[in-house]
Amino acid sequence: MLFAQQLKHNLLHKERNYVQYDQFSVNRAENKLIKASLQYLYRCTNSTTIQQLLGYFEGVEESTNYAKDFAACVGGRGMETYVLTLDWCKIFLEQKSITPWAGKQQTPSVLFSMQELFEAYVGKLMQEMADSDKYDVSLQDKKYHLVEKPQNSFEIRPDIVIRGKDKVEGQKTWVMDTKWKVLDKTKKNYGIKQSDMYQMYAYMCKYEAGNVTLIYPATKNEVQEVTYSASDVRIHVKFVKLFKAEEDVRRILDLAIADHRENNI
């Protein structure tokens, strides 16, 4: 209630009140910018998750003047949860890039485990390239434990397990593990960990695998692909070029299948 303005303008109009108020609406600058960002990302990805999020913004107009709406954003109490989101909106809508050099604007960081990315990428390519009519590809397979008694203990979980569906030619199983590590030809066994070899041997025994393969990222160290073998074990070491991953994964898959057939013959 603004009493000074009430006396000045409404003195003779008792039915009127001169007031000041805030209008609460979802159609505000912050939400307009978020909707514009979601629309931009949806056009780039066709993500169903983003499409679902856009459903929450039906009553919000899409921002068309980014600079004006960013200037209109209100900070302070109650708006803390918007800060990080609006930082990302600014990056997407103004097409800015994140660099490791110092600058005037702070940006959030995103860190990914390269071991997990490499493992997931190679595994996904194996699933796409293996003939689904002939092979089942399991990622992070949990079928076996190292020991069964007194209870199942020490779960073993290979990154990639490929099982053949053709039972006529006998059991076919291929086990592969990815390792995000740079091997070095100047080191003994190229720097391959002894524990990794023991791990692959355990996979071979538990899965009765006809082929076990360690997969590393290819680097400029020029380490040659090698097969470590004994009377009862053959462990292959293969490499995948990050910018030609599809080609190398296809080659590794074909070689593994061919190696299994050769050993069975």
pTM (two decimals):
0.62
Average confidence (pLDDT) over 134-140: 89
Task: Let me know: does 174 contact 209? Beta carbons within 8 Å.
Answer: yes
In the predicted structure, residue 14 carries a pLDDT above the cut 80: no
Average confidence (pLDDT) over 115-136: 90
Residue 265: the pLDDT is 41
- Cα–Cα–Cα angle for 166, 172, 176, rounded to 5 degrees: 135
Q: Strands, E, within 80-189: which ranges?
A: 135-139, 145-147, 153-155, 160-164, 173-178
User: Residue 213 forms beta bridges with which residues?
Assistant: 176, 236
Residue 68: the pLDDT is 93
Q: Strands, E, within the chain: which ranges?
A: 135-139, 145-147, 153-155, 160-164, 173-178, 211-217, 226-230, 233-240
Find where tokens 């990222």 sit: 217
In the predicted structure, residue 184 carries a pLDDT above the cut 60: yes
Find where tokens 């050099």 sit: 101
DSSP 23: P
- Residue 240: other Cβ atoms inside 10 A: 21
Under the banding of pLDDT at 50, 70 and 90, the label for residue 8 is: confident
Residue 151: the pLDDT is 78
First-to-last alpha carbon distance for the chain, in angstroms, is: 94
pLDDT in tens, 211-253: 899 999 998 877 888 888 877 778 999 999 988 899 999 999 8
CA distances from 237 to 130, 161, 192, 256 (A): 20, 16, 9, 11
Residue 221: the pLDDT is 76
Task: Let me know: does 119 contact 178? Beta carbons within 8 Å.
Answer: yes
Residue 99: the pLDDT is 66
Residue 50: the pLDDT is 92
Q: What are phi and psi of 154, to 5 degrees?
A: 60, 70
Most confident of 2-16, 29-43, 202-216: 29-43
Residue 107: the pLDDT is 66
In the predicted structure, residue 108 carries a pLDDT above the cut 70: no
Strands 211-217 vs 233-240: parallel, antiparallel or unpaired: parallel
Residue 184: strand, helix, or coil: coil
**Of 170 and 111, the one with more pLDDT:** 111
**Of 257 and 202, the one with more pLDDT:** 202
